[in-house]
Structure 1
Amino acid sequence: MLQLPAARTPDPREAPSLRWGILGTGWIADKFVTALQRNTTQQVHAVGSRSQEGADRFASAVGASAAYGSYEALVADPDVDIIYVATPHNHHHANAVLAIDAGKHVLIEKPIAISEAEAQDIADRAAAAGVFCMEALWTLFLPKYDVLRQLLDDMVVDTVLADMGEYFTPDHRIFRADLAGGPLYDMATYPLSFAMWALGDPERIAAAGTPAPNGINGQLAMQLVGADGGVAALHCSIIGETPTTGVIASADRTITIDGPFYQPGGFTVTTRGGESARYDEEPVAHEGGLHFQAADVARLITAGARESDVRPLAHSIRLLRVMDAIREQVGIPLPAGVRRVRCR
């Protein structure tokens, strides 16, 4: 009978408690804080917004001790141990650098930046400052993904399939070119990271895209070919709903992950010989999953680490290298005012 390994994920409530500063007060910041407060002993000490009104409103809602009307004031707070960067994609680099230069550890929303050069610059600055730095790719820290990680140790992956499609109304910020909108940075992070996690760095990349009604890129089809010949077929869209499932297959085993594949939930393993096994966990979405990465970060920082071995900065940089190639192939422009950062 096919047996699945158990998740080795430590109890998030047993992680050392850090004092967090939340930089940005939008949707993902709210989900992150909710997850921390429901599932960990981490402290949301301070929040920073572009206005005092916005900071006061968010701080009141989450019970933070301090509210700052500028990001500069937030990172200068001596009682903040770590900054969670939760601003739009094309602001990640500048906001991360601001925190790093203030001597703060940083957890940066995914993707860590919007170009390989920006990601490398963040990594270089964090290393020079001696602070912890990680991309907040929360998926890889879920118990489900620890079980998958153990299964992959015994697999030679031939095929990865993944999609992520969601309909957004035209007034959603994902349609704003000035905020690096479109599916590439917001959604493709998940299937691309999933494929690279299973296959390794791609040797070949091919991509095609079509526009949304307002002219911004609306959907992408992507193919990656790994060094060992494994192939990934990936899709993401902001103009229509898709199953958002994932598949990892070898010659004798197939893992089919329920949608949304990147969130807490279940999967089924089947063998060529007809055996099967099921893994299930409560599908609790962001509020029930974002805290696992934060607990791991707290343990690492307390232990003196400066990177995560689950999501090392080299992997975040490689993801942006692949995204750069996709952007160039499809002709997706960088937002106005964004420049390539020269790596130091």
Structure 2
Amino acid sequence: MRGFEFPASRVPDPADAPSLRWGIAGPGWIGERFAESLSRHGSQRVTAVGSRSLARAEEFAAPRGLRAHGSYGELAADPEVDVVYVATPHTAHVEVALTALEAGKHVLVEKPLGLSAREAERIAEAARARGLFAAEALWTAFLPSYDVVRQLVRGGRLGELTAVVGDYGEYLPPSHRAHEPALAGGPLLDLGIYLLALATDLLGEPDRILGLGAPLANGVNGQLSALLGFPGGAQATLTTTMLGFTPAQLTVVGTEAALTLDGPFNSPGGLTVTTADGATHRWEGTPGSHVDGLHFQAAAAARAIAAGRLEVDERPLEMSVRALRVADELRRQTGIVYPGE
């Protein structure tokens, strides 16, 4: 095959999305990057920040000209906030999201949507009951590069899918919250959730799940591998670790072609398609950081909210729940227990 035409990304210009007022729940690392991404790109406005510590909220708010709130309830009650971006540690996602929804605010919840499928379902149920928008902020799903992947896969350009092969490892030092048992530590929800999310997006719900974990001295899981089997025979082979850096690539294999996202696969970047004749074809995307990519999910949420939709097409809530069902089973098999269980 000499030529291979890539579809154009269908992701609209974030600057064209209706401008909403955002409140950030959790003034940490990802909250900082979300605020910076929105300030540099698109049309969204961050107006407030909330934390359990008023001092932390004020420290975050002062250089950005935001209002600071000393509780998540106060942030949710702020009349100048349309939608709350939940950027807290994983263990607080369900509590903070439900607080915002109960106050009548839409929510975009940093991945994972909850610690478990049941927590994610609680958020989805609360949003639907109140007629409010809710979505998981899995930023990869909103990037232009991943829209190209979706079109190639769903348009049959790779043929029948047979496998997804992926890895995602980073070195997270002992000081990182991922080493804290009380904060649902381990790589599964920080790194591995990307692998589970994309594999189950592309291949559906697995009917066979095999997991292998490796606990550290404090009981937190340090690395995990999963083999997923899907109806029809497709498989996913996935591995994640917080003990060192891996290539962080994801390959989708079909009977006519294979597609590999550049590492780190969850970030803005390019991809390569290798057709059955061995020829390679490139779709060039500009590599980027969270600051270069988080605004796409905010714009998608704003467009959905303005249109009166309760979910986004890019990441329906059932997809988020599906990935967490797989994570729940992997935890069951490998003995990973989170706080409160």
TM-score normalised per structure 1: 0.96
Q: Distance in 1 between matches of 2:70 and 2:19?
A: 25
Deviates more, 1:205-214 or 1:304-313: 205-214
Judge conservation of contact 1:15–1:41 (CA < 8 Å) in 2: yes
Tell whether 2:211 aligns with 1:207. Answer: yes
Counterpart contact for 1:17–1:298, Cα < 8 Å: yes
Tell me, yes or no, if structure 1 residue 163 matches structure 2 residue 167: yes
- 1:168 deviates by 1.4
Distance 1:230 1:140 in 2: 21
How many residue pairs get matched? 336
| Amino acid aligned to 2:326 | V
Is 1:55 aligned to residue 57 of structure 2? yes
Partner of 2:89: 88
Q: Which amino acid aligns with 1:265?
A: G
Superposition RMSD in Å: 1.0
Structure 1 residue ranges without an equivalent (≥5)? 340-344
User: Are 1:212 and 1:239, in contact at CA under 8 Å, matched by a contact in 2?
Assistant: no
Residues 99, 106 of structure 1: 8 Å contact kept: yes
SS of the residue corresponding to residue 148 of structure 1 reads helix
> Within 1, Cα distance between the matches of 2:131 and 2:259?
39
- CA distance in 1: counterparts of 2:131 and 2:31, whole angstroms: 25
Q: Secondary structure at the match of 1:111?
A: coil
What's 1:129 paired with? 130
Alpha-carbon distance in structure 2 between the residues aligned to 1:38 and 1:227: 44
Give the structure 2 partner of residue 342 of structure 1.
Answer: none
1:12 to 6, 14, 19: 14
Give 1:290-305 correspondences, 5 Å limit: 290-305=294-309
* Match in the other structure for 1:245: 249
Contact kept in structure 2, 1:225 and 1:231, CA below 8 Å? yes
Mapping 1:102-117, distance limit 5 Å: 102-117=103-118
What is the match of residue 33 of structure 2?
31
Q: Which residue does 1:99 correspond to in 2?
A: 100
SS of 2:119's partner is helix
Give secondary structure in 2 for the equivalent of 1:277: strand
1:219 counterpart residue number: 223
Gaps of 5+ in 2: none
- Give the alignment's TM-score, normalised by structure 2: 0.96
| Residues 33-76 of structure 1: per-residue CA shift (max 9 Å, x gap) | 11111111211011001121111110113222x11111111101
Query: 1:148 maps to what in 2?
Result: 149
Conserved 8 A contact 2:165-2:250 = yes
Partner of 2:234: 230
Cα distance in 2, alignment partners of residues 122 and 310 from structure 1: 18
Task: Give 1:213 shift.
Answer: 4.4
User: Which residue of 320, 328, 334 maps to 1:330?
Assistant: 334
